[in-house]
A = this chain, B = another copy of it.
């Protein structure tokens, strides 16, 4: 069989059953082979940033990779920002990039570029597949690599002739390859490490647990909450989790704030910070005269589990060693804000969301400043997954939501978007419509890159005159998101008041398929 089909069959037997794509000529053999391997579902996007963001959302929710299919260096380049977010999310992605035929590369045809140089910064694993008989093995290793630990972006470059030439059939697996079966296993944390952290916590000095990636699902959260309750340690989560399970019936964990001074306030007084699959906290940006390292003076940092380790097992063992009662966690109680009335503001909008969030929702938070009150408003809402802007590269949320909806067809997805961020990858709405995905898109329209108004002051720059401020202002002309949404096949509503927003939100949650609500907020943000 052709290399392209060998690749697709390897995906299939390895459980990679979804491929987000925007193909071109060099990928035509892959596309032509789709009908022969119908168990792999292709999902078309109109821009590669949608492809990669969707693959990230899929990976975060499915805990196994989707594939992508991208067109040479420029197609990859268009997808890199969301691969950056996927990398920071530790999301598994099998990132397939078509290339010119092996012998054609030397001719420097118009689309030729250095794909490896482009791919490496966002890829934990990279390979250029050199022959059709190697493609199945290369694909299996890419899939295995994507599982990590930690899960990562594995980029497999497939030259056109590797797709179109015949692979030796003996190279194509008929069941899950061994390398894939073995993939993703985490190392058990040494008893010594657990004992030394236990000694720190028993010492009674103010301590905090900082939880990251794999510790932010229910099992890790429960164990961490047992520890926290038993020894009085503060429970913190990294600022931008890839996926955080939260809501009523789950432990409450306070995310470190994005703004450094608030994060430092959250950690003030701590003498010990225990990292659990989390990195020591740093400021998102540098500011004149302020530190990059956010660990308070006099606070010692300890690592219970790194990104390759079984953090959940380590937390459970630590809780047991400390003698924390098996059910000694503290859970958020069910509680919702009242339905808001009157002006539509960031606060009233998230109150409506807290009041109406459906059971088992997936919430993508790219609301930036408009989402600042979201955590409190949804703490007691029904259990949900929160997906955050892991790599701080905006344009993630609409694609991510599409991918999450493909991964979890039975669950409602809520995409909370800042207007500026939404415009980066607005084409995702078309894929939502085409696939009939159950996504409620809320666009918080304040006509501004509002976060930058804050940052302009914070970097210590003089506030800037009218020219500077006009560069942060996107309300001239105003963007009609209802028109954009309907233009791509997603029904849409504009809400000017809390009541209108509540009505629109309820309607969107009640009806299957994608919807968009343009939530018109006070101009300029907070």
**What residues of chain A have their CB less than 8 Å away from a CB belonging to chain B?**
21, 23-26, 28-29, 31-35, 38, 42, 44, 46-47, 49, 73-75, 77-78, 80-81, 84, 88, 100-101, 103-104, 106-111, 113-114, 117-118, 120-122, 160-161, 164, 239-240, 279, 282-286, 288, 292-293, 390-393, 395, 420, 423-424, 426-427, 430, 433-434, 451-452, 455-456, 458-468, 470-472, 474, 476-484, 486-489
Q: A113-B84, A467-B38 are in contact. Are A292 and B28 (CB under 8 A)?
A: no
Nearest chain B CB to A7 CB, angstrom units: 14
Query: CB within 8 A of A471: which of B21, B110, B455?
Result: B21
In the complex, given contacts A74-B391, A104-B285, A479-B489, what are 9 additional A-B residue pairs having Cβ atoms less than 8 angstroms apart? A25-B284, A31-B464, A34-B467, A46-B474, A47-B424, A49-B78, A74-B393, A104-B283, A484-B488
Residues of B within 8 A of A104 (CB): 283, 285-286, 292
Residues of B within 8 A of A239 (CB): 110
Query: CB within 8 A of A460: which of B108, B164, B483?
Result: B164
- Would you call B32 and A456 a contact (CB within 8 A)? yes
Nearest chain B CB to A293 CB, angstrom units: 7
Q: A31-B456, A111-B392 are in contact. Are A73 and B78 (CB under 8 A)?
A: no
- Would you call A78 and B34 a contact (CB within 8 A)? no
Residues of B within 8 A of A462 (CB): 32
Q: Considering the chains assembled together, what is the distance between the CA atoms of A24 and B393 in angstroms?
A: 10
- Would you call A427 and B426 a contact (CB within 8 A)? yes
Nearest chain B CB to A53 CB, angstrom units: 12
Residues of B within 8 A of A395 (CB): 47, 78
A2's closest neighbor in chain B, by CB? B461
Residues of B within 8 A of A468 (CB): 31-35
Residues of B within 8 A of A464 (CB): 31-32, 34-35
Query: CB within 8 A of A423: which of B46, B81, B106?
Result: B46
Query: CB within 8 A of A452: which of B28, B29, B108, B459?
Result: B28
- Would you call B109 and A470 a contact (CB within 8 A)? no
Q: A81-B74, A483-B487 are in contact. Are A111 and B284 (CB under 8 A)?
A: yes
A476's closest neighbor in chain B, by CB? B434
Residues of B within 8 A of A161 (CB): 286, 288
Q: Considering the chains assembled together, what is the distance between the CA atoms of A80 and B73 in angstroms?
A: 9
Residues of B within 8 A of A482 (CB): 487
A-B contact pairs, 14 of them (CB 8 A): A25-B451, A28-B452, A28-B456, A31-B452, A32-B468, A44-B470, A73-B121, A74-B84, A78-B81, A88-B110, A104-B286, A118-B121, A482-B487, A483-B486
Nearest chain B CB to A15 CB, angstrom units: 20
Nearest chain B CB to A54 CB, angstrom units: 15
Query: CB within 8 A of A283: which of B42, B109, B390, B484?
Result: B109
Q: Considering the chains assembled together, what is the distance between the CA atoms of A433 and B479 in angstroms?
A: 11
Residues of B within 8 A of A286 (CB): 100-101, 103-104, 160-161
Residues of B within 8 A of A426 (CB): 426-427
Nearest chain B CB to A283 CB, angstrom units: 7
Q: Considering the chains assembled together, what is the distance between the CA atoms of A330 and B240 in angstroms?
A: 65
- Would you call A31 and B471 a contact (CB within 8 A)? yes
Nearest chain B CB to A387 CB, angstrom units: 15
Q: Considering the chains assembled together, what is the distance between the CA atoms of A118 and B480 in angstroms?
A: 34
Q: Considering the chains assembled together, what is the distance between the CA atoms of A427 and B427 in angstroms?
A: 10
Residues of B within 8 A of A451 (CB): 25
Q: A73-B84, A423-B46 are in contact. Are A487 and B476 (CB under 8 A)?
A: no
Q: In the A-B complex, list the 9 residue pairs whose CB atoms are closest, starting with the nearest.
A: A35-B465, A483-B487, A477-B489, A32-B461, A74-B393, A101-B286, A77-B80, A104-B286, A74-B81
Query: CB within 8 A of A282: which of B46, B108, B470?
Result: B108
Residues of B within 8 A of A47 (CB): 395, 423-424
Residues of B within 8 A of A483 (CB): 483-484, 486-487
A459's closest neighbor in chain B, by CB? B28
Q: Considering the chains assembled together, what is the distance between the CA atoms of A122 and B113 in angstroms?
A: 8
Residues of B within 8 A of A279 (CB): 108
- Would you call B32 and A391 a contact (CB within 8 A)? no
Nearest chain B CB to A80 CB, angstrom units: 4
Q: Considering the chains assembled together, what is the distance between the CA atoms of A32 and B461 in angstroms?
A: 6
- Would you call B103 and A113 a contact (CB within 8 A)? no
Which of A47, A81, A114, A460 neighbours the largest number of chain B CB atoms within 10 Å of its CB?
A81
Nearest chain B CB to A106 CB, angstrom units: 8
- Would you call B49 and A160 a contact (CB within 8 A)? no
Which of A34, A114, A122, A468 neighbours the largest number of chain B CB atoms within 10 Å of its CB?
A468
Residues of B within 8 A of A49 (CB): 78
Q: Considering the chains assembled together, what is the distance between the CA atoms of A488 and B111 in angstroms?
A: 31
A453's closest neighbor in chain B, by CB? B28
